[in-house]
Amino acid sequence: MHAVQFADHGDRGVIEYAERPEPSAGRDEVLVDVKAGALNHLDVWTRRGLPGIDLELPHVPGSDAAGVVESVGEGVTRFEPGDRVAVSAGVSCGDCEFCRHGEQSQCVDYYIIGEHVPGVHAEYAAVPEDNLVAVPEGVDWATAAAAPLVFQTAWRMLMARADVRAGESVLVLGASGGVGHAAVQIADFAGAEVVATASTAEKLDYAREVGADHAINYAETDFAAQIDDLTDGRGVDVVVDHVGGETWDDSLKSLAKGGRLVTCGATAGSRPETNVNRVFWNQLSILGSTMATPGEVDDVLSKVWDGTFEVRVRGRLPMSETSRAHELLEDREGFGKVVVVPDSEFDE
Ligand SMILES: [Zn+2]
């Protein structure tokens, strides 16, 4: 079979689409005939190499994919050949104090398929049964592949961590990214007034289409000043930040007294300066969030499958063009998710 892989960490040139042995399903695993995969920023970090994560090379990347069950291990009870499934990439031990309290994404041994262990951007992938969710008929493969990681991440950030309530105001930074475009929709669903930032007029239009009430072009204007204007100096109740870096200080500035900043990533830098005076005087909360519990995954994906939430796809490419897929993410081109399809299944 063919799979995306890289034999060294580095720039986009390390990505290849190579022949590899077809995996087989272990006892509690399912062999999935992959119909589509989706990219996340995590794939870019993994390709470049993450400190503290020592991967066996060559590494097959990919945390999001969907397809048809080809075969199942003898311990598998929930799936059988022919079932439609999608991967939910967080792996937890099931037995630590956090798992036992139902907080699987806080597991002390938590890891993510594709980041810490071989991923699913291949013609076939062997995936633990616990990391698969059923996909109803009628849901297209791109949606099934692209929804799980970003929608579970955004759902937990807003619904569990920030606990957004109807009538509150929510600022979503970087609304054109996968997490951003999910967060806009979820905040809107929760009944919040949603402000989105993006870098072009076209992306701002898309953000409005998926539920933003206001849209700010951060490339042209200071978004913290715009929030100040928009809220008559009050600030917003919640900021969704997956950017970090230079936006961090402005995120904190944009919050109302008692506001909550919820973060799931730092694509622009993980060590921004924090004005601690602002944090205590304004009684701000800074909330971290990673992935989601299986129950949260079920809650949000049921709303993707029934069409409440929509996965926007900025590009659909054969897996042999994964390098271009990374470029779309790294250069922040387009709006929504980047989908890759095994070349043997690619039909346009
Ligand atoms: Zn655990």
Q: How far is the CA of 103 from the centre of ligand 1 (A)?
A: 8
Q: How far is the CA of 63 from the centre of ligand 1 (A)?
A: 19
What is the biggest distance separating any 2 CA atoms in the chain, rounded to whole angstroms? 62
Q: How far is the CA of 114 from the centre of ligand 1 (A)?
A: 19
Q: What pLDDT does residue 168 have?
A: 98
Q: How far is the CA of 81 from the centre of ligand 1 (A)?
A: 29
Q: What pLDDT does residue 52 have?
A: 83
Q: How far is the CA of 102 from the centre of ligand 1 (A)?
A: 9
Contact 290, 264 (CB under 8 A): yes
Q: How far is the CA of 93 from the centre of ligand 1 (A)?
A: 4
Task: Band the pLDDT of 26: cuts 50, 70, 90.
Answer: very high
Q: What pLDDT does residue 51 have?
A: 83
pLDDT tens-digit readout, 258-306 = 999 999 999 888 899 999 999 999 999 999 999 999 999 999 999 999 9
Q: What pLDDT does residue 229 have?
A: 97
Is 329's pLDDT higher than 80? yes
Residues linked to residue 169 through DSSP beta bridges, in sequence order = 193
pLDDT tens-digit readout, 37-53 = 999 999 999 999 988 88
The residues, any chain, with a CB within 8 Å of residue 333's CB and separated by 6 or more, are: 314, 315, 327
Is 244's pLDDT higher than 80? yes
Which of 107, 68, 109, 115 lies closest to 89 in space, CA to CA? 115
pLDDT tens-digit readout, 7-19 = 999 999 999 999 9
Q: How far is the CA of 101 from the centre of ligand 1 (A)?
A: 9
Question: What's the rounded mean pLDDT across residues 90-107?
Answer: 98
Question: What's the rounded mean pLDDT across residues 186-212?
Answer: 97
Quote the pTM value: 0.97
Q: How far is the CA of 131 from the centre of ligand 1 (A)?
A: 14
Contact 266, 288 (CB under 8 A): no
The rounded percent of the chain whose pLDDT value lies above 70 is 100
Q: How far is the CA of 316 from the centre of ligand 1 (A)?
A: 35
Is 234's pLDDT higher than 80? yes
Q: What pLDDT does residue 53 have?
A: 82
Q: What pLDDT does residue 1 have?
A: 97
* Residues 310-337: b if buried by 16+ CB within 10 A, e if exposed: bbbbbbbbbbbbbbbbbebbeebebbbb
Is 122's pLDDT higher than 80? yes
Question: What's the rounded mean pLDDT across residues 129-147?
Answer: 98
Q: How far is the CA of 234 from the centre of ligand 1 (A)?
A: 41
The rounded percent of the chain whose pLDDT value lies above 90 is 95
**Average pLDDT value for the chain:** 97
Is 348's pLDDT higher than 80? no
Q: How far is the CA of 104 from the centre of ligand 1 (A)?
A: 6
Is 102's pLDDT higher than 80? yes
Dist. CA 265–CA 326, nearest whole Å? 17
Question: What's the rounded mean pLDDT across residues 91-109?
Answer: 98
